[in-house]
Structure 1
Amino acid sequence: MSLEPQSQDLDQTDWVVYVVTERLKRVSLNEEQTWKKRCVYRVPAFDADLNHKAYQPQVVSFGPYHHGEDHLRPMEEHKHRALLHFLERSKKPLRAFLESLREVARDLEECYDALGPKWKDGGGDGAAGRFLELMFTDGCFMLEILRTATRAVDDYAPDDPIFSNHGKLYIMQYIRRDMLMLENQLPMLVLDRLVAVESDGEKDIEFINRLILNFCSPSTSITRMGNCLHVLDVFRKSMLMKPKMKVQHELGNAGHDDGEEIIQSVTELNEAGILFKKSTTDSLEDISFSNGVLRLPVIVVDNTTESMFLNLLAFERFHIRAGREVTSYLFFMGTIIDDERDVMLLHARGIIQNAIGSDKEVAKLFKSLAKDGILEPDSSLYAVHKKVSNYCKMPLHKCRANLIHIYSSNLYVALSVMAAIFLFVLTIIQTVYSVLSYYQ
């Protein structure tokens, strides 16, 4: 009787060993290469549900994540028209482009996090072919958008709903917004391959970078950026690039003990004698503090700012090699902006250009974007944070801030103090005059 259960247990154990072994065969131990290629990510539901529209394209899909969604279907027709224009202008056969993309199909698949079986090679029902077609169609459409918006091509009809001047005014702003969403990215490798075939290898990655910058950030004067992952990565790097300078981490004797100490708001810093001025560049890293002057880059806040920053934050959170510069900037700004008075002061200094009207909404936006952020001890902003904090702790500046804060909050008290000071000065003058008259 006791031998039968043992035999049964042995069969179950063998079966589990077999299943686990088969599963392990499909797991790659080359983890470094797997994570290194990944650059397009799904935003988790617990983040996306808080602001669904910030991560979901509203006009056009790029890549597999949102392809085929009902509200994006109307743009598919325009993608195919753009594809015909692209092929006719290139004078190259369709097969040449597809073969070039086929050579890197596996690399393109591995760029996407949690890519569904519908698109993966080996997924059946022509999955590999569908993925290749998607990369080609969306890549051509993206290149046409970038070129038409910057007047690089003009072979579309004057009344074209997308590529005409009318489309540039009313449609391109929404396409630009969708193009900067993390889930809506195409690997740069797609654009690189298409441009290489089209130009017979004469145009390099910097040509594509300039196309993207001219469309997403026309005022940027950056000439070289090197290899980038996708449009969002190009845009992010353009926000951080500035003339090379040595970063001074002047922490004094403070060390890293209170790195999470919250510095005061703009209004309170101003009361402590700190002046606010515009930085010499628009780089988000161009923030400095010296001789009581805090310099901040100019930032334009409009209806697309929240979506743009949320997607940049998500990219920095999921892509380990990206860095955390945007996260640090938003944390710093969220720390010094407490309410509409702070926004008003920065607006008066030309640092915040408010295009949404309400200073209160701008303050609320920065506070929400800074939530859960941190300053890393080795960042340049950490050093600025410490210097500002130490400046405010100096007795003279602390006393000045307290006096201004106390008396400016009560007009009656402030006027009384001013009157008392005035009378005191008059009394001194009268006394001096009386003494001089006596001796004369």
Structure 2
Amino acid sequence: MSPSGVETCGTMSPLDQNETSCIIQFKESLSLELMPSDERRNWEKRSIYKVRPCIANLNSKAYQPQVVSFGPYHHGKDCLHPMEEHKRRALRHFLKRSGKPLECFFKSLREVAQVLEESYEELDPNWKVGSSGDAACQFLKLLITDGCFMLEILRAGPQQVTQAEQEKDDYADDDPIFSKHGKLHVMPYIRRDMLMLENQLPMLVLDRLVAVESDGKKGDQFINDLILKFFSSPSKVTSKCLHVLDVYRKSLLPPENEVQDKLPKGSRGLIWSATELHEHGIQFKKSGTTSLKDISFERGVLKLPEISVDDTTESAYLNLIAFEHCHAGVGNEVTSYIYFMEKIIDKEGDVALLEARDIIQNGMGSDQAVAQVFNSLGKEVTLEPESSLDAVQNQVSDYCKKAWYTWGATLWNTHFESPWSITSFIAAILLFGLAIIQTVYTVLYP
């Protein structure tokens, strides 16, 4: 017995036969597990995840497709079944327009079937390539059907098309999905579902389909541009992406070659709402870009990127945050932005102030609705330590602690909000100055 009263390994009583057998089985089970290097390789291959219950339970509807499923996670759900016939119809259009037989697309995806399977964090055995030949066939059929439908949706898009594009369009004028009516009433819901983390297709699926269709003339950049055009994004994404949600996320961030300035570190300070910051002398201005990282603070001016808020904003950003939570190494920029904005947007008055500065474009009608969106997005999110936004928060907090700025802001907000009050103040100063000059003149020259 050791001095502490705990038996050491060498002094413990020997194991009986049942315990020895148990230990042997335990060791054998461990030997069947993947080595750390193999586990890491598996993690690196994953890009499509099931949203964790602790996150999904806060707003389950935001992570569940309402109109169409892409990939295996939500395939077969009753509420999404009506879109299946449109998928098959779109596949026929895609094959006819490409001039290639279905076998060519099937063979191309079969070559990378294992890689495609490993892109999913959780996959039912019925879809796994190694389970049986039928499972592999069903998995590839699903990806081809959904991939071609997604490409057709991206190609059609909700935006206005040119005359040349209209001539290439082989869908009927009364098509439920691809007509003007469908683009107006159905496409917005499809676009929303395409930004859900559980509803993604590996980019490799689209790459392979486009490569076969174009005889290898089109690749990653063509697909990135197609996605950005579909979501009306002015950004350019040149890096290789994992799926549609990844392209959309990168379009919200600075270009890959842009270097962010390093800001001073410090202990995290509190940050108040926009109206409270305004009362402390802080002015708000729109940044020069729409990048979520283009937030800066200098000489009492807080610059924020413009953001449009509508009925799809909450769902899109919740899925972007979930993607950052699940995919190690992707970054934390969207989560940090939402954390920061939730702090400065508390009530409708904060929204109104940012609207007046052209920072928020309100597509929801009421300022209160916009405030509720940011309050909902801010649940269960944290700011990454030592990030650029952490430094901005510290700068804003330090500025607000200076009494002179607070006194000056109070004076300005109380007496100089109106241009007429400023004019009156200047006139009073001039009259006071003239009165002093007249008094001095009278004394010197009686």
Instruction: Provide TM-score, normalisation by structure 2.
Output: 0.85
Report the counterpart of residue 248 of structure 1 in structure 2. 261
Name the structure 2 match of 1:143: 151
The equivalences for 1:40-439 within 5 A come to: 40-124=48-132, 126-149=134-157, 151=161, 152=165, 153-216=168-231, 218-222=232-236, 224-242=237-255, 245-251=258-264, 255-256=265-266, 258-259=267-268, 261-401=269-409
Q: What is residue 5 of structure 1 aligned with on the other side?
A: none
Amino acid corresponding to residue 17 of structure 1 in structure 2: I
Structure 2 residues not aligned, in runs of 5+: 1-14, 416-420, 422-426
Give the conservation status (yes or no) of the 8 Å contact 2:235–2:251: no
Q: 1:387 to 1:246 in 2, by over 3 A?
A: farther
Question: What CA distance in whole angstroms lies between the structure 2 residues aligned with 1:376 and 1:92?
Answer: 49
Match of 2:3 in 1: none
Q: CA deviation at 1:300?
A: 0.5
Seq. identity, % = 55
Moved more, 275-284 or 175-184: 275-284
Structure 2 Cα separation of the partners of residues 278 and 203 of structure 1: 37
Structure 1 residue runs of 5 or longer lacking an equivalent are 1-7, 409-414, 416-421
CA distance in 2, matches of 1:173, 1:425: 60
Q: Is the 8 A contact 2:311 2:364 kept in 1?
A: yes
Is the contact between residue 279 and residue 406 of structure 2 (CA under 8 Å) also seen in structure 1? no
1:289-317 Cα distance to aligned partner (Å, 9 max, x none): 22322211110110000000000000000
Cα pair 1:271 1:404 within 8 Å, conserved: no
Q: Deviations over 1:203-223 (max 9, x none)?
A: 11000001111112x14141x
1:21 is aligned with what amino acid? E
Match of 1:321, SS? coil
- Partner in structure 2 of residue 21 of structure 1: 28
Q: CA deviation at 1:22?
A: 5.0
- 1:35-72 Cα offsets, whole Å, 9 max, x none, are 00101010122322221210000000001110000000
Structure 1 residues 28 and 78, CA gap change in structure 2 (3 angstroms): farther
Q: Cα deviations across residues 80-138 of structure 1 (Å, max 9, x unaligned)?
A: 00111111111112111111111111111111111111211233482221111111111
TM norm structure 1? 0.86
> 1: CA distance between counterparts of 2:299 and 2:429?
33
Decide which moves more: 294-303 or 388-397. 388-397
Distance across 1 between alignment mates of 2:30 and 2:394: 51
**8 Å contact kept, 2:127–2:135:** yes
Tell me if the contact between 1:281 and 1:297 (Cα under 8 Å) persists in the aligned partners. Answer: yes
For the 8 Å contact 2:106–2:140, the answer to whether it is kept is: yes
Between the two proteins, the alignment pairs up a number of residues equal to 416
- Within 2, Cα distance between the matches of 1:74 and 1:374? 39
Query: What is the root-mean-square deviation in Å for CA atoms of aligned residues?
Result: 2.9
Instruction: Give the distance between the partners of 2:95 and 2:428, measured in 1 at CA.
Output: 85
